[in-house]
Structure 1
Amino acid sequence: MAAVVATAVVLFLPRLANAPGWRAAITPLASIIGSGFLVLGPILDTAYGFYAPLVMAGLCLGGYWFGAVIRYNIATLARPGSHRDVWQIRLERMASWSLAFAYIISVAYYLNLFGAFGVSLTPVDDALHAKLLTSAVYVLVLVAGWVWGFRALERLEQLSVSAKLAIIAGLLTGLAAYFFDRVSAGALVLNLPLVSGWSGVALAFGLIVTVQGFETSRYLGAEYDAHTRIASMRLAQWIASAIYLAYIVLLAYVFRSGEFALTETAIIDMMVVVAPILPMLLVAAALSAQFSAAAADTSGSGGLIAELTRNRISPRHAYALLSVVGLILTWSSDIFAIIAYASRAFALYYALQSLIATLAAWKNRADRRLAFLFGALAVLGFLILIFGDAAEGAE
């Protein structure tokens, strides 16, 4: 608890909270470590055993490479006299449509986790009541967006991000203490992986959404210049990668395989052993983070669809479409399948952005070597789109 309070005090210091670079980094950082942080640890630990930190490093590296694509595109657009040819314009439009669709699925991802965590510490902790809660929140989000819009809800993100980072600091502190206690007792465990070969690669493909979120810097041009967005995105990815890697290293070697069931809220059961206060803090962080993230992505999707259709589909009608699709996903799929769907949707967006970067780099003689890297990343994005697989949770 002391770590939570100390971190919160630092994050709310005016000098840090009001620093332009930090404020620009908050949005992508919040998206990257959002809800994925809560589900990713148990999935990697169960599926990959003692290889979990290596897989986490691979996911972070893949996310960083795709982030490099977005950063290159930001820099290209900011160059004096820069212009895009017809193919780049068409690809950008396709990428915007794919992002709008990815947001629709990511909202389903966030709100299904909201439902699961919302009932996790109650007597009705089961899939039916979790889906009922998710459905109720969908109705709330639709009504809020239809009547008031999301500006008020998006302001919540500034507070929830700092609170979430403070709780994560407490989680890592508790895990570190528990880890070193296991070290001193000679009780670390090396779990064998349950997946390997191509099935292991396909599962990792299906988890790319858990390190997604850095692309939000691409769309902050009205608030920050290109240099600030590029630097803050890089900072956000560095911080998120450090948090994720520390988290997985501390988690992967202290729980025996089969000691807990793989569910969307498995982290709650695991943290009871580490510190009794952590489950309540994690649920509080999950509820605030997932609701604010869902509101932000709903707003983003509605705005994109309205812009792409030149307001033939209004944001309000886009919110209704999002809610209908989300409710269908909620009642037809489990959270692990939705995670894989979201990963594949964002992979399409990254692949299209990589193609845009490839064309831009090829046109610039000084950057032609980068064109081959960006082309390879486009291929990787399409592979994730086609082959991304879902984890198998406990029934």
Structure 2
Amino acid sequence: MPIVTIIWGALAILLVWVLSHPKIRNKPVWRATVTPLASIIGSGFLIAAPLLNDLSGHYAIYVMVTLCVFAYSIGQIIRWNIQHVEPNLAAQQDRHLLQIERLSDIALTAAYVLSVTYYLYLFSSFIVRIFSIQFSGTTQIITTVVLLLMAFFGYFRGFKILEKIEIFAVNIKLSIITVFLCALLFFNLDHQAPSHVPSSFDMKHIPIIMGLLIMIQGFETSRYLGKEYSAEIRVKSMRNAQLLSTGIYIIFILLFSLVFQLHPLSGEISDTSVIDIAKYVFWGAPIFLFIAAVTSQLSAALADFAGNGGLVNEVSQQRVSVKVAYIFIAAACIFLVWSFDIFEIISFASKGFALYYFFQCLSSMWVHFRIAKAKFVFSLCVGILCLLVVLFGQPFES
């Protein structure tokens, strides 16, 4: 078993080297694709399989496809906004559109606070799980310490020094995910599915599934890379990231289903249940996923924390400086960590991003009302679905 782990480890290191090679790293389209891709598959990859298997069993693959189609539809709205809304905003002439976008930014500010809390909560949970720490409240304490350190760095030093760390973390995450998918493929080829697979889907789980939208969130980051990339590159990179992440998620759920059939999880589902089931794929899989978890969650939290500081500054019309914003964000995250469990925060974050997507749909509807009826209707339908997530999404209960 350890020999297999060494082989997979060597492959992961090779992939990190390939992704870090200047010929790949310096391509504008790839650089623009990596940012949303890393965000989309960052944490969802860790929680998707256990949660969907518990909620829908054999139907997990269909639920995942539905979530991905929903996400791609929202992504299409945002791609239209990059092409048609941004030029209108630059002209500063449409007062109503400016108001919608301001509301959108406020919603995104709240969503980022929730996502930072979620990322760091998951980061701490994996540390507690892998080291088998039994003390009550340890997850919250670790999360609080990390948030205080981030606020300190943000206020006194800034986050420029962490940019290279973030890129390296993304490469590690993508490499481990690729290796784990390959290992799952070999597991499926080496094992036979049981003759009878119990399958069930309870309609009452739909609100909970709606509350898992954050699993496939992250593509909207392309909208805010305008200072670095053209509209054409951002549209293309977002589409690439969504198509690639959709493929990864569908293959992941499809291949992981056999593991659950042969080794059903016992006890309550937790945010780190993937560690318990991954050990059946190959001996070192839990360690691989732990490395992916801590690097990806910390890098994603840093990115959202730093970006939200600038967003708070803009939303407040420069009344709150970026440095002071970091303190407010950290305080809000600490409050959430000590007030709610991880699944409640996941649901709140999904609602926060759904509200932001709803306002993006409103912007698209406003611009396309007279010039493109089909796009207007599509934006309306997607907007209604986003609003349903805000109103009816519920947290998972183990």
Shift of 1:126: 5.7
Q: SS of the residue aligned with 2:318?
A: coil
Deviates more, 1:315-324 or 1:45-54: 315-324
Shift of 1:79: 5.5
Other-structure match for 1:356? 363
C-alpha distance 272-84 of structure 1, shift in aligned 2 (>3 A) = farther
Other-structure match for 2:309? 302
Whether contact under 8 Å (1:117, 1:283) holds in the other structure is: yes
Q: What does 1:1-395 align with in structure 2 at a 5 Å threshold? A: 1=8, 2-77=10-85, 85-125=94-134, 128-183=137-192, 186-187=193-194, 190-193=197-200, 196-197=202-203, 199-256=204-261, 257-259=264-266, 261-364=268-371, 367-393=372-398
Unaligned runs of 5+ in 2: 1-7
Deviation readout 1:281-333 (Å, 9 max, x if unpaired): 21111111111111111111111111121221112222222112211211121
Whether contact under 8 Å (1:217, 1:229) holds in the other structure is: yes
TM, length-normalised to structure 2: 0.93
Shift of 1:169: 1.0
Q: What one-letter code is carried by the residue in structure 1 that aligns with 2:147?
A: Y
**Aligned mates of 1:321, 1:114 — CA distance in 2:** 21
C-alpha distance 126-179 of structure 1, shift in aligned 2 (>3 A) = farther
Deviation readout 1:309-365 (Å, 9 max, x if unpaired): 12211122222221122112111211111100000000000000001001111131x
Whether contact under 8 Å (1:202, 1:388) holds in the other structure is: yes
Deviates more, 1:171-180 or 1:349-358: 171-180
Q: SS of the residue aligned with 1:391?
A: coil
Q: What one-letter code is carried by the residue in structure 1 that aligns with 2:65?
A: A
**Aligned mates of 2:315, 2:91 — CA distance in 1:** 22
The number of residue pairs the alignment matches comes to 387
**Aligned mates of 1:188, 1:14 — CA distance in 2:** 49
Deviation readout 1:188-239 (Å, 9 max, x if unpaired): 763433x521x22211110111100000000101100000000000000011
Whether contact under 8 Å (2:259, 2:277) holds in the other structure is: no
Whether contact under 8 Å (2:92, 2:98) holds in the other structure is: no
Deviates more, 1:330-339 or 1:153-162: 153-162
**Aligned mates of 1:392, 1:97 — CA distance in 2:** 29
Q: SS of the residue aligned with 1:224?
A: coil
Shift of 1:122: 1.2
**Aligned mates of 1:3, 1:46 — CA distance in 2:** 31
Shift of 1:9: 3.4
Q: What one-letter code is carried by the residue in structure 2 that aligns with 1:76?
A: H
**Aligned mates of 1:245, 1:362 — CA distance in 2:** 35
Shift of 1:14: 2.1
TM, length-normalised to structure 1: 0.94
Deviation readout 1:253-293 (Å, 9 max, x if unpaired): 32144446411110111111111211112111111111111
Q: What one-letter code is carried by the residue in structure 2 that aligns with 1:219?
A: Y
Unaligned runs of 5+ in 1: none
**Aligned mates of 1:65, 1:71 — CA distance in 2:** 10
Whether contact under 8 Å (2:74, 2:382) holds in the other structure is: yes
Q: SS of the residue aligned with 1:274?
A: coil
Shift of 1:3: 3.6
Deviation readout 1:74-109 (Å, 9 max, x if unpaired): 011465997662221100000001001100000000
**Aligned mates of 2:186, 2:196 — CA distance in 1:** 16
Shift of 1:139: 1.1
**Aligned mates of 1:134, 1:55 — CA distance in 2:** 31
**Aligned mates of 1:169, 1:281 — CA distance in 2:** 11
